[in-house]
Amino acid sequence: MDYYSKTTTKLIAELGHLPGIGQKSAQRLAFHILHMPEEQVRELSSAILDARTSARFCRECCTLTDEDICPICASDKRDHKTIMVVEDTRDLVAYEKTGQYNGVYHVLQGAINPMQGINPTDIRLKELMIRLQGDVDEVILATNSTLEGEATAMYISKLLKDTGIRVTRIASGVPVGGDLEYVDEVTLLKALENRTEL
Ligand code: ZN
């Protein structure tokens, strides 16, 4: 039997579907929302809906953006001949926060993970290969140093072997198994500076 009203139960259930939100947290959030001014709740729900409705993948680098071409790809101040390959948009943001990288990105939207049935065709690899037919000097493989990230980097480096494009891998200063997102900026910069040729 439900102790809460139907609508409250539904709210708790929906919040509980979010990552890292268990049953207790879902209840806590739900009650917080129920005590918020109605106007603020409207703002919150329309922010969620607006962000989701306008979210799309950049036509160039596949990052999540609300434009056809993201601001980085659209900028003529960036070095479009250097492409850093990352797993997701949060990794891109981590590198952008260092303020020291002037190239562009390619966001794979995942990593190869055969155990979970994620194959090369399931990530944005085809889009990368199409981009590399253009004028590119260097591809920096900045996938995570997890098993999947390493496997993905190896896979891409093999694909690029005979293309004449310089392929580098960020240094393993990034803790093994650590998502790039959680690594501090100094470590990220070091990893980038000490990248090695593949
Ligand atoms: Zn882009």
pLDDT at 101 over 90: yes
Q: Span 159-180, mean pLDDT?
A: 78
Please give the distance, rounded to the nearest whole angstrom, from the Cα atom of residue 60 to the centre of ligand 1. Answer: 5
Q: Taking CA 129 as the corner, what is the angle to CA 137 and CA 173, rounded to the nearest 5 degrees?
A: 60
Please give the distance, rounded to the nearest whole angstrom, from the Cα atom of residue 125 to the centre of ligand 1. Answer: 15
Q: Residue 164 is encoded by which pair of tokens? A: 């004449």
Domains of the chain (ranges; CATH) run: 6-54 (1.10.8.420), 58-197 (3.40.1360.10)
Query: How would you classify the pairing of strands 196-197 and 138-141?
Result: unpaired
The answer to which of 48-62, 114-128, 137-151, 164-178 has the lowest mean pLDDT is 164-178
Please give the distance, rounded to the nearest whole angstrom, from the Cα atom of residue 6 to the centre of ligand 1. Answer: 43
Environment of ion ligand 1 (residues, CB < 5 A)? 58, 60-61, 70, 73
pLDDT digits (tens, 9 = 90+) for 170-191: 987 555 455 666 677 778 888 8
| Cα distance between residue 172 and residue 94, in whole Å | 16
pLDDT digits (tens, 9 = 90+) for 54-87: 999 999 999 999 999 999 999 999 999 999 999 9
From the list 64, 41, 40, 44, the residue with the least C-alpha distance to 54 is 64
CB 62 within 8 A of CB 107: yes
Q: Span 111-129, mean pLDDT?
A: 93
Please give the distance, rounded to the nearest whole angstrom, from the Cα atom of residue 104 to the centre of ligand 1. Answer: 8
At residue 145 the predicted structure's pLDDT band, cuts being 50, 70 and 90, is confident
From the list 126, 140, 135, the residue with the least C-alpha distance to 83 is 140
CB 132 within 8 A of CB 156: no
Residue 23, burial from CB neighbour count under 10 angstroms (0-12, 13-18, 19+)? exposed
Q: What is the pLDDT of residue 122?
A: 94
DSSP string, 38-49: HHHHHHHHHHHH
The answer to which of 106-110, 123-127, 166-170, 191-195 has the lowest mean pLDDT is 191-195
Please give the distance, rounded to the nearest whole angstrom, from the Cα atom of residue 5 to the centre of ligand 1. Answer: 45
